[in-house]
Amino acid sequence: MILSMVLAVIGQFLFKKGVILTNVSPSIKSIVSSIFTPILFFGFLCYGVSAVLWLFVLKKFPLSVAYPSLALTYILVLLISVIFFNESLSIFKILGVILIFSGVVLINIQK
């Protein structure tokens, strides 16, 4: 599960970095040519491998546990956004991360 989530986060990071570095516009030609730039291509590759791994996660864990656990990726994306893209970190984002983490912990508690 963790590897699937980490690859999804890496894919999102590469997507963001890729659209910053490319001149993608909402035309078919621009989108197709952008997809094949190395950074976006590897972003899609990471995301695709993440999706395949997720199939094995769904086989092993109940959906009611697995899917909410994906919320941890929001926390990782927030940290990457702050570190690599100099995005702001507000008290509301910190509180949101605490709430997300608490929710995932509560869902994963086994009796």
State mean pLDDT over 16-43. 85
Task: Tell me the pLDDT tens digit for each residue of 15-26.
Answer: 999 988 887 778
Give the pair of three-digit tokens for residue 33: 């040519």
Give me Rg for the CA atoms of the chain.
16
DSSP string of 30-74, one letter each residue? HHHHHHTSHHHHHHHHHHHHHHHHHHHHHHHS-HHHHHHHTTHHH
What pLDDT, on the 0 to 100 scale, is given for residue 111? Answer: 46
Mean pLDDT across the stretch 19-38? Answer: 83
Residue 110, pLDDT > 80, answer no
Q: For residue 17, give the amino acid letter.
A: K
Residue-level pLDDT at 33: 81
45-95 tens-digit pLDDT: 999 999 999 999 999 998 888 888 888 898 899 999 999 999 999 999 999
Q: Hey, what are 20's tokens?
A: 């910053």
For the chain, the domains span 2-108
- Beta carbons of 68 and 104 less than 8 angstroms apart: yes
